[in-house]
Homo-oligomer: A and B are copies of this chain.
Amino acid sequence: MPTVTDIPDSHRDLLDAKFATMATIAPDGRPQLTEVWFLAEDRKVKVSLSTTRQKVRNLRRNPAVSVLLLDLENPLRYVELRGDAIVEPDDDFAFADRVSAKYGADLRTFGPPEDKRVVVTIEPVAINTWS
């Protein structure tokens, strides 16, 4: 299975980007697109999401996922990671806190106190680059 270290040097900097476009499969079978924060960690792309989000429900039903990391200054340069998502609980916000550190934010304050978070790990089957 490819990992983020298989992203060619020419595009490796995009792992430090602030935003990723995440595509999941909506209940009607159509792609759903949203922008997300992410971390490149343990040679994988990981996203912290509230369990109230539609895309978490999508991924629990169908793990098919694609993530695009875009060079905002040159939008024809990007890398796409396509594969399956593993959704795991992050009840103690341990991963969310690491995301918070990257963004200078506090994900613990983003939802109501009863908010639960998951870690979504993208396991790519294919990595495609464009430039």
Contact = CB atoms under 8 A, between A and B. Distances in A.
A32 B125 CA distance: 12
A110 interface: no
Interface footprint category on A? 20 to 34
A70 B64 CA distance: 23
Chain A's interface: helix, strand, loop or mixed, by majority?
A: strand
A43 to B, nearest CB: 20
A29 B31 CA distance: 10
A19 B70 CA distance: 11
Interface string A65-91: 111101011011010101110000000
A18 B34 CA distance: 19
Interface stretch (A20-28, A45-53, A93-101): A20-28
